[in-house]
Amino acid sequence: MKFDYGGFRCDCEPLSHKKEVAVPQCLPTQEDVIARLERLPMTGWYIRIMLVGGISGAFDAFDTFTIAFVLPVLVELWHFDAKAAGFLVSIGYVGHLCGTLGLSWVAERHGRLRVLRWTLIIFGIMSLACGFAWNYVSLFWLRLVQGIGLGAEGPVAVVYMNEFTKARYRGRMITLFQAIFGLGALLVSWVALLVVPTFGWQWMFFIGAVPALLGAAMRRLVPESPRWLASHGRLEEAGRVLGAIEDEASRHGMRPLPAPATNIPAVSTEHAGWASLFTPFYRARTLSVWCMAFAMALTSYGLQTWMPLTLRTVYHLPLREALHDAFIFTILSTLGSWGSITMLDSIGRRASYLISFLGGALPLLVLWRLGAGASPNQVLVLAGISRFFVAIVTVSIWVYITEIFPTRMRSIGSGSASAFVRIASILGPAVVGLMLEDVGIGSVFLLFGATSLAAAVIVFFFCVETRGRIAEEVAP
């Protein structure tokens, strides 16, 4: 007797002869699920997943960088110095670290989609709460809680997208998804330019509350990852999800789908946990990607977060001019992130990351040599060039991170690397605040430039090329 189970045909007897409860005995294997995902054309079903993921990522960036554009106002309104400003930025990233480690583990156990929904609800509601902050201390603690949702959204979302994307397009599509995060950074700088001087800083946080609505509706818009379902033995559910996607992709059976690939490597069913990151096969990958993530975040987020306040307090530009220059700076960052979309699949991961880290380091080292004598225009141009190049790795490193770990530990691997992003984001603003007060702006540029240069060395010696390879081939 033949059954068509979610697009996977099998010749076996049902477990029951009652039509309404008949279930075939030959459920799809993990390898079947991967083969069927790899053959799917990226039509409307994939666009819908990309849009939902992209919107969530854009608002993650919006809410993450909102603090950078309200700080110039709050410093004068609540009368605190650069050190206190650094701690206000850093506390958000403490929340990021807690969310990254805690919720990435939950996503490994209880599903990508469920956790992704809750991250949006958490940081959306807390953004609304931040808009009602009445002093430094209240905003400090509200941003800590908001950071829990913001910290988990990025790594969980990119894992979710990776598990739907076929190997041939994975580099450009996941980078495109991450580039939307850069678009969110551009959006927040543009909105701040219009909103902060006219309506007040609170409205930046009110706008950032929109993701709570998306999180509430997400369950009805997109499905759970079939790869994750299959890796947890929920093969019947994986088959149903794939069957619905295949039905849509084939236009309800009117357009035949390609035959599933037959060269899918066997998938390990070995239990994975945090200790799996340090097994002989994965140890060097884990440590090197942690270093890359730390360097990327220290340089990228450090430049992005501190630029408006630096232009305002170090170079004494008027508020509107400082925000305007910061907007130009963000445009350069966005161009870099979008330029990376084709790089990963054309020249490969390793070459792309070398170009990014070296291009980020050299302009900053020039600014270090110029020191306090650098003009605002020189800072804007050279730091903007650096941000352009660093943006390449900022958006594309998540492609690499999710490729070098298998499904059974992908969320843990991504979450652990994201934790080093958060550690850098915690330390960076606080250290920069101290350095600006005590040793000057030139030392800040040296810190960022040397860190980026060290990351280029790590890429050269330890980065694994993954271009065009099925995820299960890269990480068995």
CATH number of the domain bearing residue 116: 1.20.1250.20
Given pLDDT bands bounded at 50, 70 and 90, which one contains residue 269? low
Classify residue 129: in a domain, yes or no: yes
408 vs 144 pLDDT, higher one:
144
Given pLDDT bands bounded at 50, 70 and 90, which one contains residue 7? very low
Distance CA 322, CA 448 (A): 21
Average pLDDT over residues 111-127: 92
Classify residue 337: in a domain, yes or no: yes
Is the per-residue pLDDT at 126 higher than 90? yes
Write 233-238 long-range contacts (CB < 8 A, 24+). Answer: 235/27, 235/28, 235/29, 235/33, 236/23, 236/27, 238/28, 238/33
Classify residue 320: in a domain, yes or no: yes
The percentage of the chain sitting over the pLDDT mark of 70, rounded to a whole number, equals: 91
Classify residue 311: in a domain, yes or no: yes
Given pLDDT bands bounded at 50, 70 and 90, which one contains residue 233? confident
Given pLDDT bands bounded at 50, 70 and 90, which one contains residue 19? very low
370 vs 183 pLDDT, higher one:
370
CB atoms closer than 10 angstroms to residue 15: 11
pLDDT, tens digit (0-9, with 9 covering 90-100), for 34-66: 888 888 888 888 888 888 888 888 888 899 889
User: If you average pLDDT over each of 51-65, 134-148, 202-216, 423-437, which comes out highest?
Assistant: 134-148
Q: Which of 93-107, 237-251, 261-275 has the lowest mean pLDDT?
A: 261-275
Average pLDDT over residues 104-129: 90
pLDDT, tens digit (0-9, with 9 covering 90-100), for 378-413: 888 888 898 889 988 888 888 898 889 888 888 888
For residue 133, CA distances in Å to 73, 200, 234 come to 14, 13, 45
Closest CA to 290 of 464, 416, 430: 416
Is the per-residue pLDDT at 26 higher than 90? no
429 vs 382 pLDDT, higher one:
382
Q: Residue 9's pLDDT is what?
A: 47
Distance CA 144, CA 435 (A): 23
Is the per-residue pLDDT at 296 higher than 70? yes
User: If you average pLDDT over each of 305-309, 320-324, 397-401, 430-434, which comes out highest?
Assistant: 397-401
CB neighbour list of residue 194: distance below 8 Å, 6 or more residues apart: none
| Range(s) of the domain holding residue 397 | 39-225+268-474
Given pLDDT bands bounded at 50, 70 and 90, which one contains residue 223? very high
Total number of domains constituting the chain: 1
Given pLDDT bands bounded at 50, 70 and 90, which one contains residue 268? low
Classify residue 34: in a domain, yes or no: no
Closest CA to 227 of 167, 180, 171: 167
Classify residue 445: in a domain, yes or no: yes
Q: Residue 182's pLDDT is what?
A: 67
Classify residue 8: in a domain, yes or no: no
Distance CA 333, CA 186 (A): 8
Name the average pLDDT for the chain: 83
Given pLDDT bands bounded at 50, 70 and 90, which one contains residue 130? very high
Average pLDDT over residues 60-78: 89
Classify residue 237: in a domain, yes or no: no
